[in-house]
Amino acid sequence: MNEPVISLFSINKQYTRSATAVTALRDLTLPVAKGEFCALEGPSGCGKTTALLVAGGLLRPDSGTVTVGGKDLYALDSGTRTRFRARRIGFVFQQFHLVPYLSALDNIRLPGFALGDTNGGARAQDLARRFDLTDRLGHRPSELSTGERQRVALARALFNAPDCILADEPTGNLDDNNAQAVLSSLRDFASEGGAVLLVTHDARARSFADRTMRMERGELKVEQRG
C-alpha cells in the first residue's frame, strides 16, 4: 500500500447516554492510501459516522491519533485545524448541507471563501460543467432536484483540490442513476490520486471501492478487496 493520505490509529471514542457509557469506536486503526477508495459498511449505530467525523477533524477521539498528509489533526489548535480541513479534506453528506440562501455557484465556492479566496469563479464554473450544472448555477438549493443538490455538494467538496474526500451516505437519498454518478465521481477522484473514505449502506458501492470494510459495535470485522 502507498503511504496513507489519511490514517486513524488506535482510535477510541465513548458517548455517555443516560449516565451510561456507550463505546462508539474501539481501538480503530484504518489507513487510506493515495489513490484508494475505501468503503465502510455496517448497521446503524455501529460507529461508521463517528469514525468519519473523527477522521475529518470534527470530533475529537478519547484516545488515538488521526493524521492527514502526515499532520496530526488533533495536535492543531482549533483555528489551524479548521483552515487545514478546508484546504485538505472534502466532505459529502447524505443531507447535502448546502447553504439555503446561496446560489448553487456560491455553494460550490464556499470552501474557497473559508480560505479567503474570492476569485474562484472560473474554478466553480469548470466544476459545474463537469457535473452538468451550468444552467443551474443561479438557483438556490430549494430549486434544485435531489440529484442536482448532491452534484453541487460533490463539486463543493472538490473545489479546493483536497487530498481526500470523506463521504457519509452520499447515495442514501438518490435514485439509481444519480447514485451511480456519485459513486463514479468518487472513483474518478481516487483514480486521479485522491483518497476516499465512504460510509454507506449501499451495496452498489462495493463495485467502485478498492476495499470494503465492515464495522460492528465500533470495531472493524471484515475486509473485502475490490
Q: What is the pLDDT along the chain (226 residues), one digit of tens a residue?
A: 577 999 999 999 998 877 788 899 999 999 999 999 999 998 888 999 999 999 999 999 999 999 999 999 999 999 999 999 999 999 998 888 999 999 999 999 998 887 887 777 889 999 999 999 999 999 999 999 999 999 999 999 999 999 999 999 998 888 898 889 899 999 999 999 999 999 998 888 889 999 999 999 999 886 777 6
DSSP label of 2: P
Neighbour-count burial for 146-179, b at 16+ CB within 10 Å, e otherwise? ebbbbbbbbbbbbbbebbbbbbbbbbeebeeebb
State the pLDDT at residue 1: 56
d(CA 48, CA 52): 6
> In terms of residues, how long is the chain?
226
- Contact residues for 153 (Cβ-Cβ < 8 A; gap 6+): 92, 93, 96, 97, 98, 107, 170
pTM comes to 0.91
State the pLDDT at residue 201: 87
All structural domains of the chain, each given as residue ranges with its CATH number in brackets, are 4-225 (3.40.50.300)
